[in-house]
Each structure stands twice: as structure tokens, then as C-alpha cells.
Amino acid sequence: MPGIGEAAAALIALALTVHMALLARAIHANLRQGAAWRRGLAARVEAVPLGEALAAAGVDLQRWLHVTPVNALEGAVRACEACGGKAECEARLAAGRGALPGCPNAALLRP
């Protein structure tokens, strides 16, 4: 007959196993949610001149989306969406002249 110490050790082992399984599940769900969010953000980046400006500056969009903090990503997209010079910026980018000199995201446009 097992002693109280062995039973307690078995319960602790079971609790730790369940906890690790739940933690692995939560991490997996978080990774999937983060990937979906970044896909949506990538679409928003491509919908404004920021995507073209990053490409023209030699910045890899996928890497940028993974190494840049979330607040900076949202701020960059919002700044580009709110910019009044989008048409002129798109024309400059199409002509190969880079983004507008007063671009609110100028600091990001470095490889």
C-alpha cells in the first residue's frame, strides 16, 4: 500500500502534467491568434503607401511585422492612414523617388 507521500507526489505530478498541457494549448492558441492579427495588419499596410515605402527602402515586411512592437506597428499604419499626402506619396513611390520627405514614418523606412 502506497504511503501518503507517494500519493501526494502522484497528485502533484498529475497536476503539473495537466498544467503543462493547458499551458501548451494556450501558447498554441496565442500563436495562431497573433499570426491572424499580423496577416490582417499586413493587409492594412499594403492598402496604404506604407507597404510600398517599406519595400522601396528595402525593409522586409514580414520581418518588420515580427520584430516591431505592436504599438509601433499600429501607430505606423494609423499615421499613414491619416496622412494627407497619400496621393503624392504614391506618385513619388511609383516614380522611384521614395516616400514624401515629411513622411510621419520616415524613421521606419530604414532597412
Does the pTM exceed 0.75?
Answer: no
Q: What does residue 55 show for φ and ψ, rounded to 5 degrees? A: -65, -45
Cα–Cα distance measured from residue 13 to residue 35, given in angstroms and rounded to the nearest whole number:
33
Q: Where are the domains of the chain?
A: 4-108
CA distances, 34 to each of 17, 28, 53, 67, 102 (Å): 26, 10, 24, 13, 32
Average pLDDT of 14-23? Answer: 96
The pLDDT-based confidence of 9 (bands split at 50, 70, 90) is: very high
Per-residue model confidence (pLDDT) at position 94: 87
Residues in Cβ contact with 58 at an 8 Å cutoff, skipping those fewer than 6 apart: 111
Over residues 67-77, the mean pLDDT reads 90
